[in-house]
Amino acid sequence: MNISPIEKVTEDSSDEALWQNFLREDDVSFLWLVERYREQVGAYAWRMVRDLGMSEQIVVETFARLYDLKPKLRGRFRLLLFEQVHTLCGIAKKRLSDRHSEPTPAFGGGRPGSPEEAAVRGESRWRLEVALSQIPDGHRACLLLYYAHRLNPSELAALLDMREHQVPGQLSYARRLLRDYQRMED
Amino acid sequence: MQQNWLGMRPEDLSDQERTLLERDLQLSAVHRAELNFGDQLANLPYLGGVVVLDDVRNYAERMGPFEAPKRANTWIYGLPILVVVALMLIVMAVSNRTAQSPPSVSPDSSAQIDQMALVGQPEGVLLEASARGLSGVERRIDSGHSVFASDRIVFAVQAKGTGHVVMGDVRTGERLFPDADRTMFVESGEQSLPYVYQLPATEKSVELRVLFCSKPVPGDRFPQQVPEDCRSRSFQLNRFD
């Protein structure tokens, strides 16, 4: 692999510039990527596995995998990142179902039972979170990766094992499901 | 027509779809509503624990090296089909081979048939000969032709009907082919005799005869008279002076 010298990057540099610098053994670039994406990764994991402890573990493991596998990974950073998260979420879901644990609902208003959670009850965001937690995993992943995490249709297709031309249809159906569940909450 | 593309981000729309949105205000409003509905998901917060780089490093050290995620080997599902196809091809190949190539008759298999017991219906017989000299050149000879003492004479019978073949020297009564108490049963057609004759150095002329009989000719001698159940053909050979 042709490794060029470390370029000067800042906290505001693009994902790809930071990732390329990290491939040249610049850990500071990776630190900025962690800072930039840890909440997004955590949010996705949380909403997919519906378990707070597990989602925090997924965040750490996702970045640890990127850190460890960097010489073998090729592609756009955001796609590499969400490939890891999505894979880990699948593994975590299986572990949770094997343990027969009661999943913690992925509510965005704080830990269940906390004052923060109570404060957001009744808000439209609460209803959205509840509806989102009720739709099937595949449709939830599709909506989150496209709207919340800004993956493009080709990346989404690669990640969710479908054809690119199927993405708009999947998103349309997932939005309809989400809206239907949201209405049921009203 | 179903317009699934409504609600997609502007950069993911085609030129045709953008043109449609510019021309149709109602469609544009639906599109914007769908997009806004989806974009709500971007505003959902995450209030989990804060992860820092040290967490990542510690975790990586504790867990050791990861294996790169392996892509699902979807081709593996094709293996059973390949195996079935290969088996079918093998079965077809074997059955075709059997169909095209009937079991070959081994030389020994003819011995399993007791040729001595066969009864033929001889209708006629012709005897043809060719002589091969010392130079290796083979030439066709007819009855009455002359040959050298060194020539090797090969005979072939043209038989009509079925029967036992025996050849000998008429004057000496020597049985030349086949050996005593053996026989050669032939059917209509040309048959080369597995026998090579050489004119005796003491003889200037010989008269050979082939018998084509319904029954085997027994004994180690050649009959001077043609038996009743046989057809015959004589062949005279002279020696060059």
Residue A108 pLDDT: 47
Helix, strand, or coil (residue B208): strand
Residue B48 pLDDT: 57
- Digit-coded pLDDT (tens) for A30-39: 888 988 898 8
Among the partner-chain residues A43, A65, A179, the one whose CB lies closest to the CB of B46 is: A43
Q: Which one of 2.60.120, 1.10.3470, 2.60.40, 3.40.630 gives the CATH number of domain B115-239?
A: 2.60.40
ipTM summary value: 0.80
Given an 8 Å threshold on Cβ–Cβ distance, is B59 in contact with A64? yes
Q: How far apart are CA B219 and CA B225, in angstroms?
A: 14
CA-nearest residue of chain A to B35?
A: A147
pLDDT greater than 90 at residue A71: no
Q: How far apart are CA B17 and CA B10, in angstroms?
A: 9
Considering only CB atoms, which chain B residues are within 8 Å of A146?
9, 38
| Per-residue pLDDT band at A127 (split at 50, 70, 90) | confident
- Digit-coded pLDDT (tens) for B133-146: 776 778 889 888 88
Given an 8 Å threshold on Cβ–Cβ distance, is B66 in contact with A83? no
Given an 8 Å threshold on Cβ–Cβ distance, is B51 in contact with A109? no
User: A57, A175, A180: which to substitute to probe chain B, counting the most B Cβ within 10 Å?
Assistant: A175
Considering only CB atoms, which chain A residues are within 8 Å of B49?
42, 56, 59
Q: How far apart are CA A16 and CA A33, in angstroms?
A: 10
Given an 8 Å threshold on Cβ–Cβ distance, is A168 in contact with B4? yes
- Digit-coded pLDDT (tens) for A135-154: 999 999 999 999 999 999 99
For every residue of B102-134, DSSP letters joined together read PPPPPHHHHHHS-GGG----EEEEEEEEEEE-T
CA-nearest residue of chain A to B65?
A: A68
Given an 8 Å threshold on Cβ–Cβ distance, is A67 in contact with B47? no
Identify the CA nearest to A85 among candidates A25, A160, A168, A165: A160
Q: How far apart are CA B211 and CA B195, in angstroms?
A: 15
| Per-residue pLDDT band at A95 (split at 50, 70, 90) | confident
Residues in chain A, overall count: 186
Q: In what order do the strands lie in the sheet with B122-132?
A: B138-141, B122-132, B152-161, B189-197
Identify the CA nearest to B166 among candidates B229, B236, B237: B229
Residue A163 pLDDT: 92
B10 touches chain A (CB under 8 A): no
CATH architecture of structural domain A120-186: Orthogonal Bundle (1.10)
Helix, strand, or coil (residue B171): coil
CB pairs under 8 A between A and B: 112
pLDDT averaged over every residue in chain B: 81
Residue A85 pLDDT: 92
> Which range, A22-31, A93-102, B70-79, is most confident?
A22-31
User: Phi and psi dihedrals of A75, rounded to 5?
Assistant: 130, -175
A139 touches chain B (CB under 8 A): no
Given an 8 Å threshold on Cβ–Cβ distance, is A110 in contact with B47? yes
Torsion of CA A178, A119, A122, A117, to 10 degrees: 40
User: If contacts are CB pairs under 8 Å, which of residues 79-108 in chain A contact chain B?
Assistant: 83-84, 87, 108
Q: Which CATH class is domain A8-106?
A: mainly alpha
Q: Rounded to whole angstroms, what are the CA distances from A31 to A11, A76, A85, A98, B103? A: 9, 17, 18, 34, 79
pLDDT greater than 70 at residue A4: no
C-alpha distance from B33 to closest chain A C-alpha (Å)? 11
B12 touches chain A (CB under 8 A): yes
Which segments in chain B show pLDDT lower than 70? 1-2, 45-74, 97-113, 135, 241
Q: How far apart are CA B150 and CA A116, in angstroms?
A: 124
Torsion of CA A8, A9, A10, A12, to 10 degrees: 150
Considering only CB atoms, which chain B residues are within 8 Å of A164?
none
Residue B47 pLDDT: 57
Are B128 and B156 a contacting pair, CB within 8 Å?
yes
User: If contacts are CB pairs under 8 Å, which of residues 45-74 in chain A contact chain B?
Assistant: 46-47, 52, 55-56, 59-61, 63-65, 67-69, 72-73
Residue B55 pLDDT: 66
* Cβ-Cβ contacts under 8 Å for B8 (sequence gap 6 or more): A153, A168, A171, B35
Given an 8 Å threshold on Cβ–Cβ distance, is B46 in contact with A108? yes
Domain chopping of chain A, boundaries: 8-106, 120-186
Among the partner-chain residues B37, B43, B48, the one whose CB lies closest to the CB of A46 is: B48
